[in-house]
Amino acid sequence: MTLKLNHPTPEEYASFYADYVQRAIAREDVVAALPQQIDEICAALGSLTDTQTLYKFGSAEWSIKEVLGHLNDVERVFSYRLLRIARADPTPLPGFEQEDYIRAAGYDNVPLAELLNEFELLRRANILMVSHLDDEALSRLGTASGATVSARALIYMLVGHVEHHMACIHEKYLPGV
């Protein structure tokens, strides 16, 4: 994919997403990071056993499988927002409660290989969608979780969200497995 994106401006996303956007900016080429993250997640987690991925670094924390399931959930939510906004749909999009999603999903019962495959398939579908967006679609603004967001910012948020959780996995989870 040869698409190059300009960084979103702070007016294109809510301040509570600034960490994700900054993490994506640090990747330098956010478009190249989209497929790279598939390989990075598989390299970091693919050799773990299903038992190891039940590890939590604290009793109130998610397991590794739940973190990966959360990545899949957010990949879906952010990409749906991206699609709607890029297609000029003015309908405000609601937020979601991530803790409720985790409780309802039962990710600890899903094989690790399936969670990894699901992330790859979701991300590859998003790569295809992003590759067909023009500048007008990328700059469109919409409303999600009660805040203004651009389609471009949502691409950065997809990358930054994974960066955030993978940093946590490397720092807090993998040393304990």
pLDDT band for position 3 (50/70/90)?
confident
Superfamily of domain 10-176: dinb family like domain (1.20.120.450)
Cα angle 75, 40, 149 (rounded to 5 degrees) comes to 30
* Helix H or strand E encompassing 148: strand 147-150
CA 155 to chain centre: 9
Q: What is the pLDDT of residue 4?
A: 83
pLDDT tens per residue, range 81-114: 999 999 999 999 999 999 999 999 999 999 999 9
Q: Which residues contact 139 (CB under 8 A, 6 or more apart)?
A: 150, 151, 152
* Span 10-35, average pLDDT: 97
pLDDT band for position 173 (50/70/90)?
very high
Q: What is the mean pLDDT of the chain?
A: 97
Q: What is the pLDDT of residue 2?
A: 66
pLDDT tens per residue, range 34-75: 999 999 999 999 999 999 999 999 999 999 999 999 999 999
The ranges assigned to domains in the chain are: 10-176
Tokens 């495959």 correspond to what residue?
117
HSE of 32 in the Cβ direction (CA atoms, 13 Å)?
Answer: 7
